[in-house]
């Protein structure tokens, strides 16, 4: 094997010599520092060549098959066994300092759930999914019934109101129609594009509903979208989207240790003190179970956009459908296990490039999250191969396999809370892959400083289906309708990058390949689904390994970190423009102060980019110079750290990014939320906070 | 009664004196000649006041009840009886020269239709609609089965292909997917917004399909849109859209007498010579009958926009569904009866303002067309009242109640062909109302010269629901989405205005009130439907009487005809701009000649508008002057008459308007079609034709 690698290395060296030179010429045209001197770039490209050649689809298939063999919710024995499997693989592949990291956190399981329509006729929801005989995972009795983690326990008997997506504007519309949801059970749809179910519960609770049922409408992820399982990737009639419903847009992580790690002996608040636990009952339904209820709603016909894909005209109610819901949850404080391993850096081992994916799944989790786990394991193997003969990256790469992400981003949040000071000082970038693939369409969210960085990688990695670059292939798939950028620079929540970005202000990348996927959080998100529809040849799994590996290795090796703050400044100006009209008359001086500071920041960043370019065109950059520039570059993102956090959400400490309550990105959140609530005093102080942060950032850049 | 009218007249005179003065002041600001001197305007407004006060919703209800009592297809005894009813009413209400006008034309009835799926399972389509016990018209055995008039007769046994809307781009897409429709049965959807079913048959035939089935998808006019009959206005599962499928976009009217009237002894061509009779079998289906076929199509999943509202994922086929269709049509040359009556004009009885609506229906036709017939009868009554005591309009008003519109615009076309020379000379305007109302949203198509004219009327007539003007109410209903102008100046086909506009170049207005209406051409378009959903209080029927009456009376009385050719010229420039990019390099000189002529036309028209304004501000306009201006104004639209007709459709003789094969408007059709086919020689000669026509028009205006 060593021989093969040596030959490969040599061959690739030759091939890449010319490529490197060409690529460096190209780099001169790029507006950001790629980060390597000519000499180091060629070494880097040799390693990248291996990263392109070594990942094996059949390995990815093998890992995924193992990982998805049994249902493995966080806190279960099965998931603990998988933690040990990942640990053993990390060790086998040559990672260092591999360990299981245990936290004791609040989890939530269904003890008893009954949902029964008692008027105008009787119907008892099965809460179960129907199997397909050729897919053993689709009729395993260990699969849980449909439930929402952290639902309140209790019993409700009330008429039902159909409230569309369960968003505030939907309730406003109901009110206009004269429909009051107080004391009622609201029946709402899961949303496409995704909107966090916890926000639906939060909104229903705020509007006075007694309970909420959230079902999957065939218009959104079922037969109206295309072929359903077992014939296609969309959700069949019995599929149930499980999921957590805590209000983790207020504070993620263990509900009993908000803002500090759930380690041995940690202080724990009481359930009553928690701001993230729902007070109403919530449960998911398949459309098979929702249909009898919807069919028995009278009242006004729904507004035209509320009609779903079931074969009758929808009505809002209330009633005559009257439903009894009984929910008993079991909520233990119990162990979860992250797995962490490292490749220690050569020159700056204390600097961490962190990569992570979670392991726990609502059922089998073939897409979510174990396609990512499979890519991660393959990356560990490939990195092991690359480093086997003594080669080491300059900085350390930290491999993390999180637990209990599905509950409330728990494993990653506890770990970040535990390592907060270390990460603020030495965390280079966090690269998250939750679902590595449900199809061929690359999708990423990154902080603005890393957009060019990631773009250059996906322009360089080949899409397995088309032979185009991943970047071109994704643009082609989106076609003229181009619903989004391939790489978006607005970062919300919804996965394990959240604590890194919002609690310790590390730059983050969150990425995956998307496709038609109607079985999210159902038992049909399993190996059969993946091997028939999602990625039958497992080549997107291995392509993700490549992209992830190149990104990690470039960041771990760069002479100068490839952070582009010109882009960051421009992005920030754009965010500001969005709220400008609302505040410019009221807060003119504060706004112009901020704008001036942003201009300065941008011009400092631009100057620095030029300097870096010229430094990198030399044979080598003195260590001292590298270190001082890199330290500064890392410090800039930390300028946006605000110890107080957002006025209503102190856990969220980044001044530029947070999530909305839907998990969607909320940019310059302190200012935006104050403006939305027309709290001009608060808006003023938030603008000043950001203004100071930007000033500090330019001052850091200017001192290099 | 006389006394009441006298008092009414007097009262209204007082009220309107001030109003008239105000209105004349307002007129001075309007960019077009309203058409009356101050003195004549006040007389006109008195009559209009009666037109606002006399129409009675309960009369409209009574007529509609009578008209819709039995199914009355063209050529049936029932429809003949209704012709006599309308004739008798016309006479009773005081119209003059009332007569039944008979033509013998080719009609088409179903003798035997069988549609049966024989593979992969057996299903025989009922072709019948299910009744609702409280609506006697919904289970009358005299209702015909679903059929398409002028379908070919024959028998086909073939696999089925789903071809979405059956438009050329749909077949192109199928081809891309590798699906050949040759020899297959294509199953396509009726379209919303409306596209003429005859075009679907034409296209299927051109693509080599053996037969076509057209069904009503619940996404388009059924439960996905809202409540269905008998609970709401949309189509229930068994509703069938009957209809004609001849290619009357090539030539309307009796297929055996294309371009000349079907009078006694007329020459008749053979079926083989006709260009408008389909050569393939065609039949309509309810979704109830289409569902088993659609469910049994395999092959690729449909493109996302092709998915309909039935509860499964649609596939294109071909097969496994294999269907046998047997159609035997009976196609007699038989009698139809228009009813024509007049109010003879006082000063220029030879000048005809023609108003018309058809009477024949596929079943009961409560909306289509007898809501219009009901409004027409009420207008006859009201005009009778107004003219009872000797008052007469200046010009004649001709009331027409057409037959066999549903077949191929037959009754009106034959009449226009018969009276072509008279109408070219003396036809002032034709005002068509097919369906007077299926709801509260006013909708009109008019030639550009009449847009301001009609706008001023609907700004002046009150909407019965809101108290706003009809114009404001309609804008309000459309809301922000404003899918169209209330009054559109592009005129296509689809009703009886066609021959007036396209065969003799008379200015036309085509109007109605629209609403949610999913029972078009089904047995559910009946009195129950109208009295529950469409216009339960019949106030839109009577409002249409008012609008129609005011329009007719203004045109019949105007000192100077209210034709605005500045608007026409501007509209024409707009049409030209749409094709300009395609031709400007190739046909630069022809195009600039046309543009110059248009500029001249516009400036002549503008000069004339000014002159008319100043004339009308005087006490009276000398008869001689009036006559010469009015003659010129009428001649201008005739300038667009081209004896040759369109290159491929010689019956269509208007240079500015025709219909596309879908019935949608095709503007500057000769040029547009040549450009589309890249036939630059033809485009050149068509531009020159139009250029000459415009030149002639300005020369007419300049000579006044």
Give the model confidence (pLDDT) of B69-120 as tens digits. Answer: 999 999 999 999 999 999 999 999 999 999 999 999 999 999 999 999 999 9
Instruction: Determine the residue among B225, B302, B308, B312 to mutate to test chain A binding: the one whose Cβ has the most chain A Cβ atoms within 10 Å.
Output: B312
| Mean residue pLDDT across chain B | 93
Q: In degrees rounded to 5, what are phi and psi of residue A547?
A: -60, -45
A232 to chain B: closest CA residue: B301
CB A445 within 8 A of CB A388: no
C-beta atoms of B301 and A234 within 8 A: no
C-beta atoms of B311 and A311 within 8 A: yes
C-beta atoms of B224 and A310 within 8 A: no
A→B contacts (Cβ < 8 Å), by residue, are 218, 223-228, 232, 234, 301, 304, 307, 309-313
Cα–Cα distance measured from residue A313 to residue A295, given in angstroms and rounded to the nearest whole number: 8
Q: CA distances (Å), B3 to each of A612, B10, B94, B101, B522, in order?
A: 100, 10, 18, 37, 46
C-beta atoms of B225 and A309 within 8 A: no
Residue entry with tokens 């001689």: B624
Enumerate residues 6+ apart whose C-beta is below 8 A from B318: B159, B160, B161, B179, B181, B184, B297, B299
3 state SS of A665: strand
* CB-nearest partner of A226 from B224, B227, B301: B301
- Chain B contacts of A217, Cβ < 8 Å? none
Q: What is the pLDDT of residue A138?
A: 67
Domain B565-702 is in which class? mainly alpha
CB B193 within 8 A of CB B264: no
Is it the case that residue A409 has pLDDT exceeding 50?
Answer: yes
- Chain B contacts of A220, Cβ < 8 Å? none
C-beta atoms of A225 and B309 within 8 A: no
- Chain B contacts of A311, Cβ < 8 Å? 218, 223, 309-311
B213: distance to nearest CA of chain A, Å? 22
Res. B23 pLDDT band, cuts 50 70 90: very low
Q: What is the pLDDT of residue A325?
A: 98
Q: What share of chain A in percent tops pLDDT 70?
A: 95
Cα–Cα distance measured from residue B630 to residue B612, given in angstroms and rounded to the nearest whole number: 11
Quote the tokens at residue A639: 């300028």
Q: What is the pLDDT of residue B138?
A: 67
Q: What share of chain B in percent tops pLDDT 70?
A: 95
- Chain B contacts of A307, Cβ < 8 Å? 224-225
Residue B46: in which H helix or E strand, if any? helix B38-53
C-beta atoms of A223 and B304 within 8 A: no
Is it the case that residue A531 has pLDDT exceeding 60?
Answer: yes
Choice among A283-287, A372-376, A582-586, A624-628 with the minimum mean pLDDT = A582-586
Nearest to B134 by CA among B529, B536, B535: B529
Cα–Cα distance measured from residue A498 to residue A430, given in angstroms and rounded to the nearest whole number: 10
Average pLDDT value for residue range A183-201: 93
CB B595 within 8 A of CB B576: yes
Cα–Cα distance measured from residue A490 to residue A657, given in angstroms and rounded to the nearest whole number: 8
Could you list the active site residues of B? 405
A304 to chain B: closest CA residue: B225
Average pLDDT value for residue range B1-26: 45
Q: Which of A46, A405, A417, A590 is catalytic?
A: A405
- Chain A contacts of B218, Cβ < 8 Å? 311
- Chain B contacts of A310, Cβ < 8 Å? 311
CATH annotation of A2-106+334-557: 3.40.630.10
Is it the case that residue B685 has pLDDT exceeding 60?
Answer: yes
* CB-nearest partner of A232 from B225, B226, B301: B301
Q: What share of chain B in percent tops pLDDT 90?
A: 87
| Mean residue pLDDT across chain A | 93
C-beta atoms of B226 and A301 within 8 A: yes
A316: distance to nearest CA of chain B, Å? 12
CB A466 within 8 A of CB A473: yes
Res. A191 pLDDT band, cuts 50 70 90: confident
B→A contacts (Cβ < 8 Å), by residue, are 218, 223-228, 232, 234, 301, 304, 307, 309-313
C-beta atoms of A307 and B224 within 8 A: yes
User: One fold for both B109-330 and B565-702?
Assistant: no
Residue entry with tokens 């996404």: B219
3 state SS of A312: coil
- Chain B contacts of A309, Cβ < 8 Å? 309, 311
Strand order across the B185-189 sheet: B123-124, B109-119, B322-330, B154-162, B185-189, B211-215, B281-285
CATH annotation of A109-331: 3.50.30.30
Q: In degrees rounded to 5, what are phi and psi of residue B648?
A: -100, -5
Q: Give how far the C-alpha of residue A612 lies from the chain's centroid of Cα atoms, to the nearest Å.
A: 32
Is it the case that residue A699 has pLDDT exceeding 70?
Answer: yes
Choice among A426-435, A581-590, A683-692 with the minimum mean pLDDT = A581-590
Residue entry with tokens 């410019």: A584
- Chain A contacts of B234, Cβ < 8 Å? 313
Res. A38 pLDDT band, cuts 50 70 90: confident
* CB-nearest partner of B228 from A224, A227, A313: A313
B189: distance to nearest CA of chain A, Å? 16
Cα–Cα distance measured from residue B452 to residue B465, given in angstroms and rounded to the nearest whole number: 24
CB B533 within 8 A of CB B366: no
Domain B57-106+334-557 is in which class? alpha beta
In the beta sheet, which residues pair with residue A116?
A124, A324
* CB-nearest partner of B307 from A224, A304, A311: A224
Instruction: Determine the residue among B313, B516, B533 to mutate to test chain A binding: the one whose Cβ has the most chain A Cβ atoms within 10 Å.
Output: B313
Is it the case that residue A519 has pLDDT exceeding 70?
Answer: yes
Q: What is the pLDDT of residue B285?
A: 98
A224 to chain B: closest CA residue: B313
pLDDT tens-digit series, residues B236-285: 999 999 999 999 999 999 999 999 999 999 999 999 999 999 999 999 99
CB atoms within 10 A of CB A409: 26
Average pLDDT value for residue range A301-314: 96
CA trace torsion B357, B359, B364, B365 (10° rounding): -20
Q: CA distances (Å), A387 to each of A12, A49, A51, A393, B213, in order?
A: 17, 14, 12, 8, 67
Is it the case that residue A502 has pLDDT exceeding 70?
Answer: yes
Higher pLDDT, residue A697 or B582: A697
Q: CA distances (Å), A3 to each of A386, A389, B645, in order?
A: 13, 11, 83
Is it the case that residue B391 has pLDDT exceeding 80?
Answer: yes
Is it the case that residue A139 has pLDDT exceeding 90?
Answer: no
* CB-nearest partner of A227 from B218, B232, B301: B301
Query: What is the DSSP pairing of strand B109-119 with strand B123-124?
Result: antiparallel
Is it the case that residue A15 has pLDDT exceeding 70?
Answer: no
Is it the case that residue A28 has pLDDT exceeding 70?
Answer: no
C-beta atoms of A223 and B311 within 8 A: yes
Average pLDDT value for residue range A124-133: 88
Q: What is the value of pTM for the model shown?
A: 0.89
Q: In degrees rounded to 5, what are phi and psi of residue B368?
A: -105, 100
Sign of CA dihedral B276, B281, B283, B287: negative
Average pLDDT value for residue range B657-666: 94
Strand order across the B508-514 sheet: B96-106, B333-343, B395-402, B348-358, B427-437, B508-514, B441-446, B487-488
Nearest to B652 by CA among B418, B663, B633, B427: B663
Is it the case that residue A192 has pLDDT exceeding 90?
Answer: no
A229 to chain B: closest CA residue: B313
C-beta atoms of A311 and B310 within 8 A: yes
Q: In degrees rounded to 5, what are phi and psi of residue A422?
A: -60, -45
Q: What is the pLDDT of residue A141?
A: 79
- Residue A650 burial (10 A CB sphere; 0-12, 13-18, 19+): middle
Cα–Cα distance measured from residue A262 to residue A268, given in angstroms and rounded to the nearest whole number: 8
In the beta sheet, which residues pair with residue A117?
A123, A323
At the topology level of CATH, where does B109-330 sit? Glucose Oxidase; domain 1 (3.50.30)
- Chain B contacts of A295, Cβ < 8 Å? none
pLDDT tens-digit series, residues B283-310: 999 999 999 999 999 999 999 999 999 9
Q: What is the pLDDT of residue A31?
A: 35
The residue ranges of every structural domain in chain B are 57-106+334-557, 109-330, 565-702
DSSP, residue by residue, B156-196:
EEEEEEE-TT--HHHHHHHHHTT---TTSEEEEE--SS---
Query: What is the DSSP pairing of strand B148-149 with strand A96-106?
Result: unpaired
Task: Number of A to B CB contacts under 8 A, please give it.
Answer: 42
Q: In degrees rounded to 5, what are phi and psi of residue B228?
A: -105, 160
A479: distance to nearest CA of chain B, Å? 14
Average pLDDT value for residue range A201-228: 97
Nearest to B316 by CA among B160, B191, B208: B160
């Amino acid at each position: 094997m060593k021989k093969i690698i040596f030959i490969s290395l040599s061959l690739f060296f030759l091939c890449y010599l010319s490529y490197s030179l060409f690529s460096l010429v190209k780099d001169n045209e790029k507006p950001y520092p790629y980060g390597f001197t000519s000499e180091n770039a060629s070494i880097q490209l040799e390693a990248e060549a291996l990263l392109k050649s070594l990942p094996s689809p059949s390995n990815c298939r093998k890992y995924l098959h193992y990982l998805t063999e049994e249902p493995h919710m966080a806190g279960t024995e099965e998931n603990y066994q998988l933690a040990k499997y990942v640990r053993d693989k990390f060790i086998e592949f040559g990672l260092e300092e591999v360990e299981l990291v245990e936290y004791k956190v609040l989890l939530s399981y269904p003890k008893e759930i009954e949902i029964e329509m008692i008027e105008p006729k009787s119907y008892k929801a099965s809460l179960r999914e129907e199997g397909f005989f050729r897919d053993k995972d689709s009729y395993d009795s260990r699969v849980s019934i449909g439930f929402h983690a952290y639902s309140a326990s209790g019993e409700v008997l009330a008429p039902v109101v159909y409230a569309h997506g369960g968003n505030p504007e939907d309730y406003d519309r109901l009110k206009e129609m004269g429909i009051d949801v107080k004391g009622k059970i609201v029946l709402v749809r899961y949303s496409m594009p995704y909107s966090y179910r916890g926000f639906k519960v939060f909104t229903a609770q705020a509007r006075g509903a007694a309970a909420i049922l959230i079902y999957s409408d065939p218009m959104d992820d079922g037969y109206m979208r295309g072929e359903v399982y077992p014939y296609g990737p969309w959700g069949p009639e019995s599929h149930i989207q499980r999921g957590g419903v805590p209000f983790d847009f207020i504070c993620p992580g263990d509900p009993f240790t908000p803002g500090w790690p759930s380690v041995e002996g940690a202080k724990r608040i009481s359930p009553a003190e928690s701001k993230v636990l729902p007070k109403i009952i919530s449960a998911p339904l398949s459309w098979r179970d929702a249909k009898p209820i919807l069919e028995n709603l009278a009242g006004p016909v729904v507004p035209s956009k509320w009609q779903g894909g079931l074969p009758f005209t929808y009505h809002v109610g209330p009633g005559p459908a009257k439903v009894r819901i009984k929910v008993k949850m079991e909520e233990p404080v119990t162990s979860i296990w992250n797995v962490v391993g490292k490749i220690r850096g050569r020159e700056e081992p204390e600097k961490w490039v962190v990569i992570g994916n979670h392991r726990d799944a609502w059922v089998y989790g073939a897409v979510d999250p174990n396609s990512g786990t499979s890519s991660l394991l393959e990356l560990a193997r490939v990195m092991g191969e690359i480093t086997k003969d003594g080669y080491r990256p300059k900085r350390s790469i930290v491999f993390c396999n999180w637990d209990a992400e599905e509950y409330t981003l728990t494993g990653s949040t506890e770990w970040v809370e535990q390592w907060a000071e270390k990460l603020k000082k030495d965390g280079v970038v966090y690269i998250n892959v939750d679902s590595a693939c449900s199809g061929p369409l690359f999708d990423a969210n990154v902080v603005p400083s890393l957009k060019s960085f990631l773009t250059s990688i996906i322009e360089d990695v080949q899409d397995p289906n088309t032979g185009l670059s991943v970047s071109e292939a994704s643009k082609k798939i989106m076609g003229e309708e181009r619903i989004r950028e391939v790489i978006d620079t607005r970062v919300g929540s919804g996965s394990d990058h959240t604590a890194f970005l919002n609690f310790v202000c590390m730059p983050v990348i969150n990425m995956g390949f998307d496709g038609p996927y109607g079985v999210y959080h159902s038992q049909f998100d399993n190996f059969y689904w993946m091997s028939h529809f999602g990625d039958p040849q497992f080549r997107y799994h291995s392509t993700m390994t490549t992209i992830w590996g190149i990104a990690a290795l470039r960041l771990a090796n760069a002479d100068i970190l490839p952070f582009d703050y010109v882009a960051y400044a421009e992005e920030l100006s754009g965010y500001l423009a969005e709220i400008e009209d609302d505040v410019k008359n009221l807060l003119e001086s504060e706004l112009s102060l901020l704008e001036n500071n942003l201009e300065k920041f941008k011009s400092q960043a631009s100057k620095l980019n030029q300097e870096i370019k010229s430094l990198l065109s030399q044979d080598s950059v003195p260590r001292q110079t590298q270190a001082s520039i890199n330290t500064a570059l890392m410090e800039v993102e930390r300028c946006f750290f605000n110890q107080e956090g957002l006025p209503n959400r102190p856990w969220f400490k980044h001044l530029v990014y947070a999530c909305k309550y839907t998990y969607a990105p909320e940019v310059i959140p302190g200012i935006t939320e104050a403006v939305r609530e027309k709290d001009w005093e608060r808006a003023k102080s938030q603008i000043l906070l950001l203004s100071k942060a930007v000033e500090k950032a330019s001052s850091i850049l200017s001192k290099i």
